[in-house]
Amino acid sequence: MINVTIDGIKTSVPEGSTILKAAESIGVKIPTLCNHPDQAVKGNCRVCVCEVEGSRLLSAACVMPVWEGMAVKTRTPKVVEARKTILELILSNHPQDCLNCIRNQNCELQTLAEEYFIRDNPFSQKTRGMAKDYSTPALFRDPDKCILCRRCVEACSVVQSVNALGLDQRGHHAMVVPTMGWDLIDSPCVMCGQCIHACPVGAIGEVEEIDRLLAAIADPDTVVVTQIAPAVRVAIGEEVGLATGDMPMDVFAAGLRQIGFDYVLHTNFTADLTILEEGNELLKRLQEGGTLPMFTSCSPGWINFCETFYPDLLDNLSTCKSPQQMFGALAKTYWAEKSNIDPAKIYSVSIMPCTAKKYECSRPEMNDSGFRDVDLVLTTREIGRLFRMSGIDFDKLAGSHFDSWMGAYTGAAVIFGASGGVMEAALRTVYEVVTGQTLENVNFEVTRGIQGIKEAEVDLNGTVVKVAIANGLSNARQLMDEVRAGTSPYHFIEIMACPGGCIGGGGQPITKSNAKRVERINQIYVEDEACEIRKSHENPEVKAIYEEFLHEPLGHQSHHLLHTHYTAKNKKVL
Amino acid sequence: MAEEMRIVLRNYGKIDPLNIDEYIAAGGYKALEKAKGMNQIDLIEEVKKSNLRGRGGAGFNCGQKWFFANQANADQKYVVCNADEGEPGTYKDRLIMQGDPQSVLEGMAVCAYAIGANKGFIYCRGEYPYVVDILNQAIDQAKAKGVLGDFDIEVRMGAGAYVCGEETALIESIEGHRGEPRFKPPFPGVEGLWGKPTIINNVETFANIPVIVEKGADWYASIGAPSYPGTKVLTLTGDINNKTFFEVPTSTTIKEVVYELGGGVAGGKKFKAVQIGGTSGGFIPESLLDTTISFDAMSAIGATLGSGAVFVMDETRDMVDVVSKITKFFEHESCGKCAPCREGTARMNELVGKIKGGQGSSADITLLKKLGGVMSIACLCGLGQAAPAPVLTTLGHFAADYEDKLV
Ligand SMILES: Cc1cc2nc3c(=O)[nH]c(=O)nc-3n(C[C@H](O)[C@H](O)[C@H](O)COP(=O)(O)O)c2cc1C
Ligand code: SF4
Ligand code: SF4
Ligand code: SF4
Ligand code: SF4
Ligand code: FES
């Protein structure tokens, strides 16, 4: 342990601690901008500078390690002047656009501007005047708001191994730019949205489409139907002042009805359905010598990644559409028929933790219902905005039921929201299908948790099936490289593009740290435990759809509506 | 009377730089042989005791730095010679490499032995392609003679950015990355090139080494200013009669440099200011000319010795005009990594330009001072920290030049 004095308070901290960590441990808060709890230290914004006794220079608290006997002062006039001047410098090259900004009231720079009472900035306003980039259907970039902290670059290169963002130019002209071209769409970007979470300001965000929903709701001839993805519920509370996990599903549904959705259904229904289709697909591949390992296909950021970086492995992808797209195809066929609604009038909206879903629903092949299967994808954050706009008091709102035919779900669908959940759900079903025995303990603990790569072995009547799970695309890359090299020992691999799985998706409430992701994961399993039915094949509505409409997994209707194909992206990559 | 004393330029003009035999005949590679006969720690102690301090600008004790790298446990260590020499008005490293390249190689080889490295790089300024040729020839000859033993040296061409002379940016550049400084610690001596312990010294620093090894620490420590012993190569530019170079003991005063060696201000004009150490050097008025050029004496007056460039300005020069070129230089050379330098150098240039254009007010002067003060203590690397020095020192010593232009 190292003895240090911070603002006169003596403490001892582990060797290698930074001033920032040491200060944190005694409750001294030092402002930061470029620092990110799960990333390498950057030391580039300099707002964390402090005085260290004996040093002429100020020290950046986020990078400077403490030494024995170090005396630090974090709030002297010199320190305050430096921090304030640096903030003024940053702000003088930053649009004064808070009122119009997607990060208004959720912006690290804005918070610091408030804390340091920036009033009359002595530096003249001069922004770069760069155009916004709306080239992708999922994300926009507003490079003028970029403060060059580089957190997005690390998220994209280190966490996701996509390398869609890089630095260009030097000095005052330095900027973060898409690689391989001027617009994000030219880059290998997979639209995972992890850069949004990394960004302290409003320089990257989801493409907002709330107005399209409001227009659909306003149209009396349109039937607005919604589906909620498994990961949304645990996080939506964060958007409306509740704790993580603190929004009961029935209250959430009631809130959506308040906004004006005509029918509230659930992606969890198609998550259960996915298990039936995908589980059988796996068994078929195992029995008939199909391409193995089979990869899950419910994460559209991952699909983009595979199509971009591993086009040679597309045959390994399960042909199952994602639950969102299965839902879309069924809502305008099966559900429309059961509900006696003209599918042409249905406006199908999905509420997703994901930015890549906005792209997925726009894929040209996603129209098997005869219409565009999913008309609109709104992220958890956009729904949060709608809830706030609507002034709903969730404490006083009485719960409401989900609508029939595609609203029932099991615990197995709930856990789709977390990394390992699809695998666990599949194992719960595949085990019973293969062995014909009842699975007493449905909890496969090894598949759970935020660690990047997990693996397990399951004995199915004497056949040992080896499975692996990866979350975060750099972890996926490790498994893919093994597959490409022919050294992968697995039969089945679950990949989710985002760290922690969908609960950490690019459309979730801004999540600066993995600690928050872990909290959400824990809530997912609490919800699973609370479900009466926890195996997908026991979902009564899933049973019903097979009896009445699909007839059998991998059957003719399934093939038509629930399965898809993949295409190499042929993009230039770094 | 100030006199030259040639240590690093001992062979300059005396031997054929492209003939290693002449270097050897002049006593070359004896020091390396002697060094290799010594225990590594004793060798480092000797260098430490000589109190040789880095000639690249930061003035760190050379032996001390080597000691850290010696102590670091690693399968691979590197020696890097910083020959980026990007300071406008500075060409002393070029003189040394052109006139006596073997002395640099020998200095590097001594260092390699001391720290246990077998690989070296010379990072040579991009604008010196002819020097690269000389270095490569010198290396080939040394290899052919076998004088370097198993120590291999490779020349790398600089990326053309001023900041790449900063040691960590230089490392990034050699590694093939964007030439941007890294945060220190870890220092290169512990984690440098490809994460391995790396000694980076300036050309002039290395050229001193063979002489120190040969003649001993005590001899060296007795030359010049005790806290910064030895000599310094100075290159004189600007409004001065003798626009040339000199190597002088560090106890020489600025006055002696300007008036005796430099022959005084050109054209019979009156002296106004001298800037020493390159673009980021402080401006020194007449009243401070009795300061010696040693590192600490210069620091004490808010100036630097830096690279040893001496830029003399006569009475006709307008300080705001001179400084405006400097602020423009730094706006251009900021790498853009850290906020106070990226934004600050541009604002500084804007404010100085505003004043120069007759649009400035006293509030702008106040702001310049605040900005300069913050940059000099808060920027990530030496570039941003030193960039305000010309502005701050001229605001201090030549305030009238600014005030005359205020609205
Ligand atoms: C902006 C900047 C530019 C620099 N340029 C050079 C240079 O061109 N040559 C050099 O030797 N040192 C340069 N330095 C200093 C190096 O970072 C480093 O301190 C030096 O190479 C160490 O060698 P020394 O101890 O022998 O002086 C520069 C430093 C800064 C901050
Ligand atoms: S990024 Fe932050 S500071 Fe900038 S305009 Fe948006 S809310 Fe305001
Ligand atoms: S969305 Fe994902 S892939 Fe695209 S730039 Fe952001 S982090 Fe990179
Ligand atoms: S876009 Fe955001 S995260 Fe990326 S460098 Fe700019 S401010 Fe930082
Ligand atoms: S001080 Fe300037 S040159 Fe140095 S790291 Fe910061 S921006 Fe780059
Ligand atoms: S938070 Fe420390 S430099 Fe940015």
Q: Judge whether residue B36 has pLDDT over 80.
A: yes
Task: Copy the structure tokens of residue B174.
Answer: 């050699």
Residue B1 has pLDDT above 80, yes or no: no
B145 touches chain A (CB under 8 A): no
- Which of A46, A89, A93 lies at the smallest CB-CB distance from B380? A46
Residues B147 and B149: their CA atoms lie apart, in Å, by: 6
Residue closest by Cα to atom 24 of ligand 1: B54
- A422: confidence class by pLDDT, cuts 50, 70, 90: very high
* Dihedral over Cα of B237, B238, B242, B243: its sign: positive
Q: Three-state secondary structure along A212-267?
A: HHHHHHHCCCCEEEEEECCCHHHHHHHHCCCCCCCCCHHHHHHHHHHHCCCEEEEH
Q: Measuring CA to CA, which residue among A503, A152, A99, A142 is closest to residue A299?
A: A503
Ligand located closest to A573 CA: 3
pLDDT at A460: 85
Structure tokens at A134: 């709306």
Which chain A residues touch B340 with a CB distance below 8 Å? 46, 82, 85-86, 89
Contact (CB, 8 A) for B291 and B297:
yes
Query: Which one of 3.40.50.11540, 3.40.50.1970, 3.30.930.10, 3.40.47.10 gives the CATH number of domain B20-220?
Result: 3.40.50.11540
Query: Per CATH, which fold does A211-561 belong to?
Result: Fe-only Hydrogenase (Larger Subunit); Chain L, domain 3 (3.40.950)
Residues in contact with B291: Cβ distance below 8 Å, sequence separation at least 6, in sequence order: B253, B254, B284, B297, B298, B300, B301, B303
pLDDT digits (tens, 9 = 90+) for A509-563: 999 899 999 999 999 999 999 999 999 999 999 999 999 999 999 999 999 999 9
Question: Is the model's pLDDT at B331 over the cut of 90?
Answer: yes
Contacts with A146 (C-beta within 8 Å, 6 or more apart), sequence order: A175, A176, A201, A203
How high is the pLDDT of residue A245? Answer: 95
Q: What digits encode the pLDDT tens for the residues B385-407?
A: 999 999 999 999 999 999 999 99
The predicted structure's pLDDT at residue A461: 83
Can you spell out the DSSP letters for A72-104? EESS-HHHHHHHHHHHHHHHHTS---GGG-TTT
A360 is catalytic: yes
| pLDDT of res. A364 | 95
- The answer to whether the beta carbons of residues B74 and B197 sit under 8 Å apart is yes
What is the spatial distance between Cα A325 and Cα A360, in angstroms, rounded to a whole number? Answer: 8
The tokens describing A75, both together, are 């709030």
Confidence of residue A574 (pLDDT cuts 50, 70, 90): confident
Please give the distance, rounded to the nearest whole angstrom, from the Cα atom of residue B169 to the centre of ligand 5.
10
Distance CA B96, CA B307 (A): 13
- Separation of A148 CA from ligand 4 center, angstroms? 5
Q: Whose CA is nearest to atom 19 of ligand 1?
A: B58
ipTM: 0.96
CB-based contact (8 Å) between B177 and chain A? no
Contact present, B342 and A92 (Cβ < 8 Å): no
Is A298 known to be catalytic? yes
User: Buried (b) or exposed (e) across A329-354, using 16+ Cβ within 10 A?
Assistant: bbbbbbbbebbebebeebbbbbbbbb
How far is Cα B87 from Cα B329, in angstroms, rounded to an integer?
11
At the second CATH level, the architecture of B231-314 is: Roll (3.10)
Q: Which of A86, A123, A172 sits opposite B334 (nearest CB)?
A: A172
Q: B336 and A82 in contact by Cβ < 8 A? A: no
HSE on the CB side for A60, CA within 13 Å? 25
Chain A residues with CB-CB distance to B161 below 8 A: 170
Domain residues of chain B, as ranges?
A: 20-220, 231-314, 319-403
CA-based nearest distance A79→chain B, Å: 9
Contacts of B377 in chain A (CB under 8 A): 49, 56-58, 78, 82
Query: In the structure, what pLDDT confidence band is assigned to residue A463 with cuts at 50, 70 and 90?
Result: confident
Write the burial class of residue B357 (CB in 10 Å: 0-12 exposed, 13-18 middle, 19+ buried): exposed
The answer to whether B339 contacts A43, with C-beta atoms less than 8 Å apart, is: no
Select from 3.40.50.620, 3.40.640.10, 3.40.1160.10, 1.20.1440.230 the CATH code of B319-403: 1.20.1440.230
DSSP-derived secondary structure letter, B265: B
pLDDT at B370: 98
The ligand 3 atom at the shortest distance from the C-alpha of residue A194 is 7
Per-position DSSP letters for A316-353, written without gaps between them: GB--BPPHHHHHHHHIIIIIHHHHT--GGGEEEEEEES
> Does any ligand 1 atom lie closer than 6 A to the CB of residue B201?
yes
B38 pLDDT exceeds 90?
yes
Identify which of B185, B336, B385 has the shortest CB distance to residue A57.
Answer: B385
Asked whether the predicted pLDDT for residue B159 surpasses 90, the reply is: no
Which chain B residues are Cβ-neighbours of A200 within 8 angstroms? none
* C-beta atoms of A89 and B363 within 8 A: no
Per-residue pLDDT band for B203 (boundaries 50, 70, 90) equals: very high
CATH class of A2-75: alpha beta
Tens-digit pLDDT profile for residues A120-158: 999 999 999 999 999 999 999 999 999 999 999 999 999
Q: How far apart are CA A48 and CA A31, in angstroms?
A: 5
Dmax over CA atoms of chain A, in Å, equals: 80
Tell which one of A47, A108, A150, A184 to mutate to probe ligand 4, the residue whose CB is within 8 A of the most ligand atoms: A150
Mean pLDDT of B261-290: 96
* pLDDT, mean of residues B59-79: 97
B335 alpha carbon, closest ligand: 5
pLDDT on residue B2: 82
B339 and A46 within 8 Å at the Cβ level: the answer is yes
Would you call A220 exposed, middle or buried from its count of C-beta atoms within 10 A (0-12, 13-18, 19+)? Answer: exposed
A148 lines ligand 4 (CB under 6 A): yes
Q: Which residues pair with A178 in a beta bridge?
A: A165
List all residues 6 or more positions away from B34 whose beta carbon is below 8 Å from its beta carbon: B213, B214
Q: What is the pLDDT of residue A269?
A: 95
Give mean pLDDT, residues A59-83.
98
**pLDDT for A310:** 98
pLDDT of residue B269: 97
Q: DSSP state, A18?
A: B
Identify from A18, A20, A33, A46 which residue to disrupt to test chain B contact, counting B C-beta atoms within 10 A and taking the largest count. A46
Suggest the residue from B374, B376, B379 to mutate for an interface test with chain A (most A CBs closer than 10 A).
B374
B160 has a chain A CB within 8 A of its CB: no
- Determine the average pLDDT of the residues in A364-376: 96
B343 lies within 8 A of chain A by CB = yes
Instruction: With CB atoms and an 8 Å threshold, state whether B332 touches A63.
Output: no
pLDDT digits (tens, 9 = 90+) for A11-38: 999 999 999 999 999 999 999 999 999 9
Quote the pLDDT of residue A512: 87
What DSSP character marks residue A186? G
With an 8 Å Cβ cutoff, is A120 touching chain B? no
Give the tens place of pLDDT for each residue, A287-338: 999 999 999 999 999 999 999 999 999 999 999 999 999 999 999 999 999 9
Q: Check A278, A382, A519, A541 and give the catalytic one.
A: A278
pLDDT at A315: 98
Question: What is the distance in angstroms between the Cα of B70 and the nearest Cα belonging to chain A?
Answer: 21
> Could you report the per-residue pLDDT of A470-514, keeping only the tens digit for each?
999 999 999 999 999 999 999 999 999 999 999 999 999 999 899
What is the overall mean pLDDT for chain B? Answer: 97
List the catalytic residue out of A50, A59, A502, A558: A502
Cα-based distances in Å from B397 to A144, A145, B107: 39, 39, 40
A152 in contact with ligand 4, CB cutoff 6 A: yes
pLDDT digits (tens, 9 = 90+) for B19-30: 999 999 999 999
Instruction: Round to whole Å and give the CA distance between A364 and A353.
Output: 22
Window 277-336 of B: residues touching A by CB (8 A cutoff) are: 331-336
**Quick check: B183 contacting A, CB < 8 Å?**
yes
Are A241 and A516 contacting, i.e. CB atoms less than 8 angstroms apart?
A: no
- The residues spanned by each domain of chain A are 2-75, 124-206, 211-561
Interface of A with B in 447-486 (CB under 8 A): none
Quick one: fold of A124-206? Answer: Alpha-Beta Plaits (3.30.70)
**Which residues line ligand 5 at a C-beta cut-off of 6 Å?**
B 163, 180-181, 334-338, 341-342, 379-381, 383-384
Closest residue of chain A to B365, computed from CA coordinates: A122
Among A411, A420, A347, residue whose Cα is nearest residue A378: A347
Site to substitute for ligand 6 among A32, A50, A74, A79, most atoms within 8 A of C-beta: A32
Q: Is residue B362 very low, low, confident or very high in pLDDT (cuts 50, 70, 90)?
A: very high
Residue A318 a catalytic site member: yes
Question: Quick one: pLDDT at residue B160?
Answer: 82
> Residue A172 is nearest to which of B183, B336, B378, comparing CB atoms?
B336
Summarize the confidence of residues B308-318 as an average pLDDT.
97
- Tell me what pLDDT residue B65 has: 97
Sheet strands (E) in B226-320? 228-229, 231-238, 245-249, 271-276, 283-285, 309-314
Judge if pTM exceeds 0.90.
Answer: yes
Which stretches of B216-338 are DSSP H helices? 217-221, 254-255, 295-300, 319-333
Mean pLDDT of all residues in chain A?
Answer: 96
